[in-house]
């Protein structure tokens, strides 16, 4: 199956790139009255929806028997042997404010197992991609998670709570510890980019709660395929649908989980 995954990955990248060209062309052109609020601080525009349409159309042609799990509900979310999990524009708020950190995230599951991940960071023109058994690449160069055993030397990333404030106190307790005991914390505003950066060794670790499957799927696959560990806050494997993620190299993940597990029992 590895050759099949490799072929699908190559073809899907062409579809992603075509969609990215559309998104880039709309940067700075979205009027305020064309922005919708789906829920508290969760924004969407015609750019998200049209990008999703382009991806669904292209990926359906590539793999006709596949079904979809998408953010913007432009197609019916369904379960099937082959399932694409898509975020057409991760970092929508960044995009609308012209902050240059946003991406397209595409993952493929076969029989409920993640087998392929693609994240394209549009502004830097960086393709992070990989398939089961094939390793992870950044623009054709192989990458791995960073080999670091000391939390004190780690650069971490997170995402601030923006609608689920019930767990703000334990979140801030973790943040305080990591601020005082690591090399630093970054908050980019696009979870898929954060996970891609863990997979290629730019970040040592990432954690966030209130995430959705389309935020996590491609990046989770890339982190694991690049030698990293990804779990939910309890250390279990419900990171895809459990709305919380810790992703890092093995040693840093263990150190992060010890802190996060203490505050998020």
Whether the predicted pLDDT of 31 surpasses 80: no
Q: What is the mean pLDDT of residues 55-82?
A: 91
At 38, the pLDDT band (50, 70, 90 cuts) reads low
In whole angstroms, give the CA distance from residue 55 to residue 259: 39
Statement: residue 117 has pLDDT above 60: yes
Enter the tokens of residue 23. 């998104």
Task: Using the predicted structure, report yes or no on whether residue 131 has a pLDDT greater than 80.
Answer: yes
Tokens of 7: 């072929």
Mean pLDDT estimate for the chain? 93
Domain with CATH 3.30.540.10 in the chain: 2-143
**Ranges in the chain annotated CATH 3.40.190.80:** 151-263
33 confidence band (pLDDT: 50, 70, 90): low
CATH class of 2-143: alpha beta
Neighbours of 265 (CB within 10 A): 7
CA 147, distance to chain mean position in Å, is 21
φ and ψ at residue 122, rounded to 5 degrees = -70, -40
Identify the residue with better confidence: 59 or 41: 59
Burial 234-258 (b: 16+ CB within 10 A, else e): eeeeebbebbbbbbbbebbbebbbe
Choices 3.40.190.80, 2.60.40.150, 3.60.110.10, 3.10.180.10: CATH for 151-263: 3.40.190.80
Confidence of residue 1 (pLDDT cuts 50, 70, 90): confident
Return the beta strands (E) in the chain as ranges.
Answer: 35-39, 42-45, 67-70, 82-90, 103-110, 113-121, 126-131, 135-138, 141-143, 155-158, 184-186, 205-209, 229-231, 244-248
Q: Which whole number is the average pLDDT over 131-141?
A: 97
pLDDT digits (tens, 9 = 90+) for 201-226: 999 999 999 999 999 999 999 999 99
Residues in the chain: 265
pLDDT band of residue 94 (cuts 50, 70, 90) is very high
Asked if 217 contacts 240 with a C-beta cutoff of 8 angstroms, the reply is: yes
Residue 36 has pLDDT above 80, yes or no: no
Q: Worst-scoring range by mean pLDDT, 18-27, 41-50, 54-63, 239-248?
A: 41-50
pLDDT of residue 40: 45
Rounded average pLDDT over 140-145: 97
Determine the pLDDT at residue 83: 98
pLDDT confidence of 75, banded at 50, 70, 90? confident
Q: Is 90 exceeded by the pLDDT of residue 236?
A: yes
């Amino acid at each position: 199956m590895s050759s099949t995954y490799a072929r699908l990955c190559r073809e899907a990248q062409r579809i992603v790139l075509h969609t990215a060209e559309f998104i880039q062309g709309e940067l700075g052109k979205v009027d305020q009255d064309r922005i919708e609020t789906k829920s508290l601080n969760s924004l969407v525009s015609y750019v998200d929806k049209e990008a999703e349409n382009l991806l669904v159309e292209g990926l359906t042609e590539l793999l006709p028997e596949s079904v979809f799990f998408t953010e913007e509900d432009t197609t019916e979310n369904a379960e099937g042997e082959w399932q694409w999990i898509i975020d057409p524009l991760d970092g929508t708020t960044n995009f609308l404010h012209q902050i240059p950190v946003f991406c397209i995230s595409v993952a493929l599951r076969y029989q409920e197992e993640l087998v392929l991940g693609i994240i394209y960071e549009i502004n830097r023109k960086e393709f992070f991609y990989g398939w089961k058994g094939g390793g992870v690449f950044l623009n054709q160069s192989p990458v791995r998670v960073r080999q670091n055993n000391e939390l004190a030397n780690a650069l971490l990333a997170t995402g601030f709570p923006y609608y689920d404030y019930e767990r703000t106190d334990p979140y801030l307790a973790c943040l305080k510890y990591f601020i005082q005991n690591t090399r630093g914390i970054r908050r980019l505003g696009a979870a898929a980019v954060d996970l891609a950066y863990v997979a290629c060794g730019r970040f040592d670790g990432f954690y966030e709660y209130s995430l959705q499957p389309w935020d996590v799927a491609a990046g989770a696959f890339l982190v694991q395929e690049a030698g990293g560990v990804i779990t939910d806050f309890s250390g279990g494997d419900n990171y895809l649908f459990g709305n919380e993620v810790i992703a890092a190299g093995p040693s840093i993940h263990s150190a992060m989980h010890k802190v996060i597990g203490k505050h998020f029992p």
